[in-house]
Amino acid sequence: MSDHPSRRDFLGAATGVAAGAALGLPRAALAAPAVHIRPPARPVAVASANGIRGVERAGQLVSQGMDTLDAAVEGVKIQELDPDDTSVGYGGLPNEMGVVQLDASCMHGPSKRAGAVGALEGIKTPSVVAKYVLLYTNHIMLVGEGAKRFALSYGFTEEDLLTERSRQAWLRWRANRGASDDWLDVPADADLVARPTGTINLNCVNPNGEISSVTTTSGLAWKIPGRVGDSPIIGAGQYCDNDVGAAGSTGRGESNIKVCGAFLTVDHMRRGMSPTDAALETLRRVVATTEPRLLDPEGRPTFDLNFYAVNARGEFGAAAIYGARAGGRGSQFAVFDGETAGLRDCAYLYERR
């Protein structure tokens, strides 16, 4: 059987369309090209590895009928409120002045709305403040003192976010940061003196194919005050399109901002790529746009960056620039697959030397 219509078939179809229009039939009643995305059979949540508790919580809440954005925010709040987690929220590692500044953003697929906060001080749960920006304002992003005033007006409590653990980490960094400064070197702790980044991205989809995403962070440790990375940038730190899927990132935010990586990953899925392939393709774009000073002699980035993605069918994946160290584990991501939560290995571009 031929896949190509005959001239008679074509003319007949055209006549039918014209007749339908003349009769005033609704456009939806006429045959037209369409993309039908089958919703997943079960709820799915995917996140960076430090969101393992978050994906389990979000997945359970979505299973019970909670809205996907509310569930995603409840998931990341676990880490935001944990004083032993130095990557986000309360206890996050501070900027170079010893002040914790937090960033977060979120998108709600069904309503096509977004909210974000940047350089927020004194509020433990920036993801919730970002959700309030989405719910109650005609804006998308609030920053700095204005973001804090907004949070306080909605009943949030201002608190000191610097725990003793994060304070000691900052003091060690400050003492050891330069041989010629006025601070005496102190015994170094490799885990504390290193310059870590900390972020959680969490994306979830319910059985109806409704999607939301959220990213929250304390940002780059010891950063210049006021520095904002990719996390609160819609289209970079996270992005959600309810017809396609959602994606987000952790790692070097400046390199992600330049390619609008979360949006690009979702757009790759829009064109038919799987979540894993979409994330890998975005990372190739990151490498292609990296300035020479951030490349090693082999032309590979001297930083890492990860993307996490889920589509409207509940398929998920993640990718990193680098895989495992020799004899070690590679970059991982957290998944709630509808039944259990666990860690899985990311795809990657390069073997780690």
pLDDT attached to residue 295: 96
* Residue given tokens 């980044």 in the structure block: 197
**Model pLDDT, residue 353:** 77
Confidence (pLDDT) at 352: 85
Second-level CATH architecture of 44-350 = 4-Layer Sandwich (3.60)
> Residue 19's pLDDT is what?
44
- Quickly tell me which residue has 């994906």 as its tokens: 55
Question: What average pLDDT values come out for the chain (353 residues) when binned by 10 residues?
Answer: 44 45 49 60 91 97 97 98 93 95 98 98 98 98 98 97 94 79 52 58 96 96 95 98 97 97 98 98 98 95 96 96 70 94 96 84
pLDDT confidence of residue 34: 58
- Listed in sequence order, the DSSP H helices in the chain are 7-22, 52-63, 68-80, 126-136, 144-153, 164-176, 190-193, 253-257, 261-270, 275-288
Structure tokens at 152: 């306080």
Beta pairing, strands 316-322 & 347-350: parallel
pLDDT tens-place string over residues 261-314: 999 999 999 999 999 999 999 999 999 999 999 999 999 999 999 999 999 999
Name the nearest CA neighbour of 238 among 107, 74, 327, 48.
107
Its pTM stands at: 0.85
As a whole number of angstroms, the distance between CA 150 and CA 135 comes to 13
Q: Which residues pair with 249 in a beta bridge?
A: 307
Q: How far is C-alpha 166 from the geometric centre of its chain's CA atoms?
A: 24
Question: Quick one: 285 exposed, middle or buried, by C-beta within 10 A (0-12, 13-18, 19+)?
Answer: middle
Q: Would you kindly state where each structural domain of the chain is located, as residue ranges? A: 44-350
User: Whole-angstrom Cα distance, residue 272 to residue 258?
Assistant: 23
What pLDDT does 198 receive? 72
Q: Residue 175: its pLDDT value, please?
A: 87
CA-wise closest residue to 213 among 234, 198, 243, 197: 234
Token pair listed for 123 = 């509020």
pLDDT, position 5: 46
Instruction: Name the residues annotated as catalytic.
Output: 199
Residue 42: what pLDDT? 83
